[in-house]
Each structure stands twice: as structure tokens, then as C-alpha cells.
Structure 1
Amino acid sequence: MINQISKSTTIDWSSPDVLNQIVQNIKNPLDTIITASKPDTVDNKKSQNEIIFSSSKQINDLIEEILKEIKSKSVSLTIQGRPDIFEIYESNKNVQGLCLNKINPQKVTKLDQDWLINLEKEIYNSINQNDMNLYELSYKMAVSERQLHRKIASLVHLTPNKYIRILRLHKAKHLIDNYIQNSISQVAYSVGYNDVHYFSKLFSGQYDISPKELINSLR
């Protein structure tokens, strides 16, 4: 019962395991109802049991779809592994120079890594926005804007704006490397930069190569 849960207990309602348990709690008694109301009459008229069976069966089918979706999300979270910022940091000296302290992924708990993965997901979902709203981002992450600043600083030693910029440019390089975009302006707009010259300057600062040079090198 929800009202029996201690007020000090924190429940992650976005967790696939939690959602799976909730749906299973609904599904188990529903299976009993379906079995009990399964029609066994040959009469052409629908009995009350037939109506209950039909409605319950539809609900059960819907729950099965929900369970499949939860399972797929659970698998994707497992496959995703580490936050992108760790890979970027380890392979890029320019990014390392932006961090106030050394990032040590081994000292970041799995819970905090999952938090960073979810944060990156929210950033990528809005990456084409020129002015990403930190208040909205903190709201989506269920923390205050001040807490967002503190947590990013404690985990990756960056300000939110620098962190977002690194991810924007990382996404831009991904678009170029995978031939998704071959126009500098298209790449810039895709990651939230309306000023192509400014975008090129930032990109060169992070990767020691301009977007134009990178595009030409892949042709």
C-alpha cells in the first residue's frame, strides 16, 4: 500500500524495475479475474461474465504492451553503460583542460552515473535549442537549479553551460563523422548554434580541427 510507505523513502518512479513491479501488481489479480470470468456458455447472448472477460482481456493486452516497453527500456539502460562525458574526457585533452579537477569515473557511484546518463538524455533531446533553459533542465531532473549546478560541478567539475557546450560539440562531431550532415550550417543548427562562425570557433577549440576541415577529410 502506498500510504504504508515511509515518508523518508525515496521512490524512483522512472526506474524500469519499479514500474515493472507496479504493473505486475495490477496484472496478477487481473489474471485471476480473467480466469474466473472466462465464458463457458454456448449461448449467443453475452452473459455478464463474457462482458467482464472481454473488458479484462483488453486491459490485460494493454498491460502486456506496457511490460514489453518497460523491458526494452531496462535493456537499453543496461546497454548504455557509461555517461558520454567520461568517454569525451578520457579522449580529449582540451576537455580535460576545461575541468577544474580530474574526473575519476571509478569514484563516481553507479547511481550518479545513471543520473548523468539521464541528464545527457535530456540535453540531447533539446540540443537543437539555441538557449537551453537550465531551469527547465533542472525541473526535468527533479532538482533545483542550484542543485543542478552543484551536482554537475561535483561529478564532472564543470559548470552546466560548459558541460552542455561539450555535449553539443560532441554531438556535432558525431553528425559529421557518421555522414549525417555534410553542411557546416546544418551541423551548427542541429546542435543549437545559429552563428556558424562562433560554432566553428568552439568546435576547433575542442577538437583542434575546424568542422570544414573535418568534413573535407572524410570526403
Structure 2
Amino acid sequence: MNTMTNTIDWTSPDVLSQIVHNIKNPLETIITASRQHERPGHEIIFNSSKQINNLIEEILTEIKSKSVSLTFHERPDIFGIYEANENVQCMCAKKINPSKITKLDQNWLVNLEKEIYRSINQNDINIYDLAYKMAVSERQLHRKINSLLYLSPNKYIRILRLHKAKELIDNYIQNSISQVAYAVGYNDVHYFSKLFVAQYNMSPKELIHSLK
């Protein structure tokens, strides 16, 4: 049986903020004590402590601004795809309500999407490998995707594949149906076109022609 431990994301604003707060709290105690027991020779300690405290305040402000920026820019793609596409809405067992999904879970979905996009040109994205990269068991991955998006991992990956395919066409990156299909992991162009129609109500060929 495989056991996996969750890893700490040391780049996370929440984690960094907690570390800095852990330093800040005892430092404030030192500054207060220095003020109460001022004696010759203690001025250096007080001034140094105050400078460090000011620096920590600057770091906390920077972390907070980055946290707000992350929330704004790092919205999971699946939310926008779902909101704009009735066919995708019908694929979900229940209605997705992004406002009820915590920031932590949204960040988890963003990281999951990044892992999927890194392997999107592979014909078979291995669910076990994906779970390993997300530091959860395969069963936990199924449960989490299902509980947040009411989709199976395979349906979720398919939606993202076809979303990327549409982006390649919309942004004039590819105008060959076979190249688009291969770029998002489909070796069977006919099957790719069939799935594309099911998600977007038009074939890749029709979309390409509509943009000319």
C-alpha cells in the first residue's frame, strides 16, 4: 500500500506570512522590554530590534499584496470554462459554486491544472502519477475532484484538453486539426473532433474557418 505525505508549499503567501509572524511576535516583546528597561548600552539592541521589526512589517505588506494578486490572477481555469459553457455544466453531477470553494482548495485546483497542462500532449495522463505529483493517493484525488467539481478525473482532464485545443485555434497558434489534436494528447483526429463538437457545438474545422 502506498502512503504519501502532504508537502509544504514554501512559496505560499500563507506559509510565508505564518513564518514571519512567528518571528515578529517575540521581537515585539523584546522591543517592549527594551523600552521599559532603557539603560546605557541597550540603545544598540533597541535600535537594531526596531529596524528588524520595520523590515518584517515591509515583508508582511509585500506578502499580503502578493496574496491578493495570487487570488486575482490564479483563478482555476475550470471555473471560467464551466461558467461559459452549458455543455460542460451538463457534464457536472451538480452545480459548481466557486464562491463556496475555499481559497486553499482553489489554489489546489490551480496547481492540479498546471500539472495536467504540463502533460497535456501525452495520450494517456496517468491518474496515479498525477496523484503522486499532487501528494495525495489516487483515491483521494478522485474524491477531491468529485467533491469540488462533481466530475471524474478523466472527464475533468478531457474538458481541460479541449479547452486548450480551442485556445490553440482561437490564438492562431495552430490551424491544422491534426496538429491541434496531437498537441492536446489525441492521436485519433476523428475522435478528437467528435469530443470537440460535444463540448463546443462546432467542429475544430468549423472553428478554424470561422476565424478566417
Normalised to the residue count of structure 2, the TM-score between the two structures is: 0.71
Matched, 1:169 2:175: no
SS at match of 1:182: coil
Q: Which has the higher contact order (CA 8 A, sep 6+)?
A: 2
Matched, 1:213 2:209: no
Deviation at 1:79, TM superposition (A): 4.8
Distance in 2 separating the partners of 1:136 and 1:125: 12
Distance in 2 separating the partners of 1:173 and 1:93: 16
Distance in 2 separating the partners of 1:211 and 1:94: 16
Pairwise mapping of residues 142-153 of structure 1 onto structure 2 (< 5 A)? 142-153=135-146
The sequence identity of aligned pairs, in percent, is 75
Gaps of at least 5 residues in structure 2 are 1-5, 20-62
Matched, 1:118 2:117: no
CA distance 1:74–1:140, change in 2 (3 Å):
farther
CA distance 1:211–1:110, change in 2 (3 Å):
same
RMSD: 2.5
Deviation at 1:12, TM superposition (A): 2.1
Matched, 1:180 2:176: no
Question: What one-letter code is carried by the residue in structure 2 that aligns with 1:86?
Answer: F
Question: What one-letter code is carried by the residue in structure 1 that aligns with 2:78?
Answer: I
Distance in 1 separating the partners of 2:67 and 2:102: 19
Aligned length: 164
Deviation at 1:82, TM superposition (A): 1.3
Contact 1:129 1:191 (C-alpha < 8 Å) held by counterparts: yes
Query: Which one of 68, 81, 85 corresponds to residue 78 of structure 2?
Result: 85
CA distance 1:11–1:169, change in 2 (3 Å):
closer
Runs of 4+ displaced beyond 3 Å? 16-22, 73-79
Query: Which one of 11, 15, 33 corresponds to residue 11 of structure 2?
Result: 15
Contact 1:13 1:19 (C-alpha < 8 Å) held by counterparts: no
Matched, 1:204 2:200: no
Question: What one-letter code is carried by the residue in structure 1 that aligns with 2:167?
Answer: H
